[in-house]
């Protein structure tokens, strides 16, 4: 059986995590990789991944070079959160008929303002019979697709409320920095203005839920506020002094008419208590679900991307979302084999 040929575009923390899983997965074969970072381009991918052996895959400085030889079946694109940055990369890949699974949060579901770009990607993908999916733990699963699955045993759904609490102190330093841990309030506000502390994806999750349930969002509010350290907090990487910023509390509220229909709360800060994923469906019957400890973000995101590959390759061409795919579960090598046989 031939394997599904995968190229990895973007070898940051998540990109490398995905590549490590792909390298260990039956039925998938890494045939190329790219990253613009000068300390990665030109190296062997095995070296960049920290493996004891070389993979005989040279990291290219740009995606264009990945498409010169044998056509890959799927590109894992993990370069940026912004649709503006990622769109030309996706278009370049689908123009060559390559399927794309990306962690680009803004491509996970078309929200107002991104619909034109989404349509453009959809049309380009259909034209070349390629498929494009953006997924990850959030957006893509913990605060949208999983919430939708939990409405399956319900009628008369009035409200979907999701709370994700992550103790940033247990996570990698880049995440701690990303949520502003250790900054004072002045620095945090400046970082907010620059957009560097905001998690991207809550409106995408809200719109995915609303679209699936046939709800029209009339008003959507997004807020970001700092979580303040009640005492000095130390992580393996940094100290948060009492009164400084430990991380962020981010919320989305979406109304359908007068009804508060969707409520998303994402708390990511050092020292967050009772870390969890909680989903409450206000319906008949009601559902109150908690994942104790919460889904481990980076590991879960990387697994979701890999597990989605067989589903993506079986989907109709175009831009697909987690809402459209058949029941997604852990990787089954037999499903990958069945795809290659077609």
- 145, 168, 246, 309: residue in contact with its own copies (rule CB under 8 A): 145
| 100, β-bridge pairs | 75, 132
Scored b (16 or more CB within 10 A) or e, 243-282 reads: ebbbbbbbbbbbebeeeebbbbbbbbbbbbeebbbbbbbb
Nearest CB to its own copies, comparing residues 154 and 260 = 154
Applying CB under 8 A, among 51, 91, 260, 328 the residue interacting with its own copies is: 328
157 binds its own copies (CB under 8 A): yes
The position carrying tokens 């979907």 is: 160
For 330, which DSSP code? S
What is the C-alpha to C-alpha distance for residues 32 and 249, in angstroms, rounded to an integer?
38
Contacts of 149 (CB under 8 A, 6+ apart): none
**Candidate segments 21-29, 55-63, 95-103, 228-236, binder of its own copies by CB under 8 A:** 21-29
Residue 139 · residue 205 · CB < 8 Å: yes
Burial class (CB in 10 A: 0-12, 13-18, 19+), 202: buried
Q: From residue 247, how far is each of 48, 100, 130, 270 by CA, in Å?
A: 30, 32, 39, 6
The distance of closest approach from Cβ of residue 90 to its own copies in the complex, given in angstroms and rounded to an integer, is: 23
User: Judged by CB under 8 A, does residue 174 bind its own copies?
Assistant: no
| Residue 312 interacting with its own copies (CB under 8 A) | no
Contact call for residue 50 and its own copies (CB under 8 A): no
Residue 338 interacts with its own copies (CB under 8 A): yes or no? no
Q: What angle do CA 136, 138, 143 make, to 5 degrees?
A: 130
Closer CB to its own copies, 325 or 339, in the complex: 325
335 binds its own copies (CB under 8 A): yes
Stretch that binds its own copies, among 30-38, 184-192, 229-237, 332-340 (CB under 8 A): 332-340
Q: Which helix (H) or strand (E) holds 319?
A: strand 318-320
Say whether residue 191 binds its own copies (CB under 8 A). Answer: no
Residue of 84, 90, 93, 78 lying closest to 116 (CA atoms): 84
Residue closer to its own copies by CB (options 117, 147) is 147
Among residues 39, 70, 273, 330, the one that binds its own copies under rule CB under 8 A: 330
Q: Minimal distance in Å, beta carbon 272 to its own copies?
A: 17
Q: Which is nearer to its own copies, 94 or 146 (CB)?
A: 146
Contact footprint for its own copies (CB under 8 A):
21, 24-25, 137, 141-142, 145-146, 148-149, 151-155, 157, 212-214, 283-285, 287-293, 295-296, 299-304, 306-307, 322-335
């Amino acid at each position: 059986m031939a394997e599904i040929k995968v190229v990895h575009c973007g070898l940051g923390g998540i990109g490398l995590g995905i590549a490590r899983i792909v390298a260990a997965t039956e039925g998938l074969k890494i045939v190329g990789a790219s990253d613009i970072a000068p300390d990665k381009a030109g190296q062997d991918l095995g070296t960049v991944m920290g493996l004891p052996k070389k993979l005989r895959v040279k990291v290219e400085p740009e995606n264009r070079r990945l498409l010169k030889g044998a056509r890959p079946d799927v590109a894992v694109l993990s370069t940026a959160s912004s649709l503006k940055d990622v769109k030309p990369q996706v278009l370049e890949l689908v123009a060559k008929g390559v399927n794309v699974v990306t962690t680009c949060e803004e491509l996970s579901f078309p929200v107002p303002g991104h619909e034109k770009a989404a349509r453009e990607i959809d049309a380009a993908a259909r034209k070349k019979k390629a498929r494009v999916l953006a997924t990850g733990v959030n957006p893509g699963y913990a605060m949208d697709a999983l919430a939708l699955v939990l409405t399956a045993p319900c009628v008369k759904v009035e409200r979907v409320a999701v709370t994700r609490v992550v103790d940033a102190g247990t996570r990698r330093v880049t995440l701690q920095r990303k949520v502003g841990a250790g900054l004072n309030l002045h620095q945090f506000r400046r970082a907010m203005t620059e957009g560097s502390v905001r998690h991207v994806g809550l409106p995408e999750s809200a719109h995915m839920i609303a679209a699936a349930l046939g709800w029209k969002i009339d008003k959507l509010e997004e807020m970001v506020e700092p979580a303040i350290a009640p005492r000095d907090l130390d992580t393996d990487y940094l100290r948060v002094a009492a009164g400084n910023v430990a991380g962020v509390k981010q919320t989305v509220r979406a109304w359908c008419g007068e009804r508060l229909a969707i409520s998303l709360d994402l708390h990511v800060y050092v020292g967050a208590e009772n870390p969890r994923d909680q989903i409450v469906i206000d319906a008949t019957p009601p559902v109150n679900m908690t994942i104790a400890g919460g889904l481990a973000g980076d590991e879960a995101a990387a697994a979701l991307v890999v597990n989605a590959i067989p589903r993506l390759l079986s989907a109709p061409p175009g831009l697909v979302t987690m809402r459209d795919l058949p029941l997604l579960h852990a990787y089954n090598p037999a499903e990958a084999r069945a795809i290659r046989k077609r």
